Amino acid sequence: MTAEATSGPQDASKTARNDNVDDVICVRDVRKAFGDTKALQGCSFTARRGEVHAIVGENGSGKSTLAKIISGVFPADSGTVELQGGTPSSPAHARTLGVATVFQEVLLAEGMTVFDNLFIGAEGPRTRKGPRAEQLRRVAAVFTELLGEALDPYGLVDDLPLSMRQWVTIARALLSEPRVLILDESTAALDHSGAERLYEAVVRLKAAGMCVLIVTHRIEELTRFADRATVLRNGVDVGTLEGPQITQNRLLEMMTGDTAHFGEGAATAALPPPVPQGERAPVVRASGVRLRHGAAPFDLDVTDGEIVGVIGLDGQGQAGLIQAVAGIRPAAEGTITVADRKGNELRITRQKDAADAGVAYIPGDRKLEGTFPNLSILENFGMPLFRTQRSGGVIRFGAVQKAFEEQRAALSIRLNRPSAPIGTLSGGNQQKVLIGRALAADPGVVVLNDPTRGVDISAKHSLYDLLRRLSSQGSTVLFLSSEIVEFIGLCHRVAVFRDDSLFTTLQGEQITVDGVLAAMFGQADGIPGKEKELGS
Ligand SMILES: Nc1ncnc2c1ncn2[C@@H]1O[C@H](COP(=O)(O)OP(=O)(O)OP(=O)(O)O)[C@@H](O)[C@H]1O
């Protein structure tokens, strides 16, 4: 613990009575175990009205467990949780005590409308009040506040992109007019401008007296607007920082107990030298691709050893390219080919083509695209390896286990037993399993769809290092991220998408946060005023 931290495990406040009327959450010495796993081992903190209070810690440090105990999802094994008015005994009870939680997994009822999802199980003091017209007015007002525009309340949630589904869960929380709003990794499904919009809303809510508890791995953002930050390490609070004490380095130091720090984004090494173009045959080749009928066609060649960042404002086609290369969703027109390790060019129209060509896909939405909830951690990890690790029709489990141990060490995956169901892992550790699974297959091409959402900073840096290693061994990497800083010092080129087409590619010194952002907003080469016609 650092000297200036305002509280810590040895602090007498752990047992003292709390009479401060502004303290709306008071957690004292809370412990919680799941079987052998001690998720919380004595955690205490208080949060006040009118403050943004961050909870930070590495993957598996107990943040979501703490959020769930405050939300009444789990009881604590011991210790106390006091909200003004009582101790939450169930999610419904927590809601009547004024707590609204946006959970890490985007939880919506499929096959139902936005409107129905907004009012499902709503016991908030005001949620159900008023006639339908009044409810619709409030729905329109909340989306206009959050998004700057209304959202069709009668649309099915199934048809919404992930970011919009996340906004529905946030709107649902706000409609209950809570005193305490808990956001558990709620910016993870949002792009850069979406996250900024949420932070602006958080600042307004705080000014109106709400206590906002934020769990996030985007710690550089917290330094801008968190009033206090409580750090968890291995299920124990190791201190609370206030105001100017909240710096990235201080938080990292407390999270890891280590003084080694990471730089901004992926920039731990000098920018890799540009990969020569035109000298080698491309490995991934997109020719005359239209991501939807009517969109401008584009070509993109990516060669071996290249790491290409892929980005755009929300829903501008960047995910379409990634999914087309992974064979998940073919492009509307044009061809995508991938050369396998032997140099055979295979046309990609479905996932099997991509697997045959040696493409490994790392999804961002592990629930929809990634994990098999009924299978164990090891089985989830081994899924693609079962194809390759066969001898005479028998799967070589030893080889799968060895690969698992390697990736577990490389990515610091925190778990008790590999045979436990994948759902027993913390969200970030599930994501690490998917990353390890893709990398263990020794892929010729790695396609990543915003893979670091919910992953702690040290695992992010392990991933960047692994991508650099793959690149130096000749693998091709297509890396979609919603965080521009992830490209700095990592990507040879950045492909920026607008209107479902490739708008521009940036390279070398053009790859700066401001440059990429300017291109995302339509300024070619990141130069303000230098507009570029699509398809030119
Ligand atoms: N339902 C459960 N069953 C078994 N173990 C669990 C369960 N929920 C959490 N755990 C374990 O408790 C520990 C803390 O998990 P938790 O989800 O609270 O961590 P976290 O800090 O939120 O992590 P992340 O940043 O990855 O979301 C982890 O080791 C996790 O595997």
User: Do 251 and 288 have their domain in common?
Assistant: no
Both 221 and 333 in one domain: the answer is: no
Query: What is the value of ipTM here, to two decimals?
Result: 0.98
H/E segment holding residue 319: helix 318-325
Task: Answer yes or no: is the C-beta of 431 below 6 A from any ligand 1 atom.
Answer: no
236-253 pLDDT per residue, tens: 999 999 999 998 888 888
- Predicted pLDDT at 277: 54
- Distances from the Cα of 262 to the Cαs of 3, 349, 354, in angstroms? 21, 40, 34
Segments forming the whole domain that contains residue 81: 20-107+177-256
Are residues 188 and 46 located together in one domain of the fold?
A: yes
| Same domain? 82 vs 230 | yes
Query: What is the pLDDT at residue 143?
Result: 93
> For position 485, which CATH number holds?
3.40.50.300
Helix (H, G, I), strand (E, B) or coil at 450: coil
| Distance from residue 154's CA to the centre of ligand 1 (Å) | 35
User: Which of 220, 237, 256 is the last residue in one of the domains?
Assistant: 256
Token pair 């959402």 is found at: 453
**Has residue 187 been placed in a domain?**
yes
The whole-angstrom distance between residue 161's C-alpha and the CA centroid of its chain comes to 15
The number of the ligand 1 atom at minimal distance from the alpha carbon of 232 is: 21
Is residue 145 domain-resident? Answer: no
Q: Is residue 535 part of a domain?
A: no
Residues 223-234: b if buried by 16+ CB within 10 A, e if exposed: bebbbbbbbbbb
Position 517 in a domain: yes
Q: Is residue 165 part of a domain?
A: no
Q: Are residues 222 and 360 in the same domain?
A: no
Same domain, 468 and 410: yes
pLDDT of res. 367: 58
Q: Whose CA is nearest to atom 16 of ligand 1?
A: 62
Query: Does the beta carbon of 482 sit less than 6 angstroms from any atom of ligand 1?
Result: no
Neighbours of 312 (CB within 10 A): 25
Residue 420 and residue 380 in one domain: yes
Mutate which of 426, 453, 456, 457 for ligand 1 pocket (most atoms within 8 A of beta carbon) = 426
> How far is the C-alpha of 520 from the C-alpha of 497, rounded, in Å?
7
Please say whether the beta carbons of 370 and 434 come within 8 A: yes
**Is this structure's pTM higher than 0.90?**
no
CA 126 to chain centre: 31
C-alpha span between 261 and 252 (Å, rounded): 7
Cβ–ligand 1 contact at 428 (below 6 Å): yes
Domain shared by 315 and 221, yes or no? no
Query: Does a structural domain hold residue 123?
Result: no
| Same structural domain, 299 and 227 | no
CA of 415 relative to ligand 1 center, distance in Å: 9
Q: Compute the distance from residue 59 Cα to the ligand 1 centre, in Å.
A: 8
Minimum CA distance residue for ligand 1 atom 1: 424
Residue 293: predicted pLDDT: 93
pLDDT beneath 70, residues of the chain: 1-21, 121-130, 259-279, 365-370, 384-396, 524-536
Nearest CA to ligand 1 atom 6: 424
Instruction: Report CA(38)–ligand 1 centroid distance (Å).
Output: 9
The verdict on 231 and 295 lying in the same domain is no
Residue 26 domain flag: yes
In a domain, 59, yes or no: yes
- Both 102 and 240 in one domain: the answer is yes
Instruction: Give the per-residue pLDDT at 219.
Output: 80
Question: Are residues 408 and 307 both part of a single domain?
Answer: yes
Domain count, the chain: 2
| Mean pLDDT, rounded, of the chain | 84
Amino acid 358: pLDDT: 92
Of ligand 1's listed atoms, the one at least distance from the Cα of 104 is 27
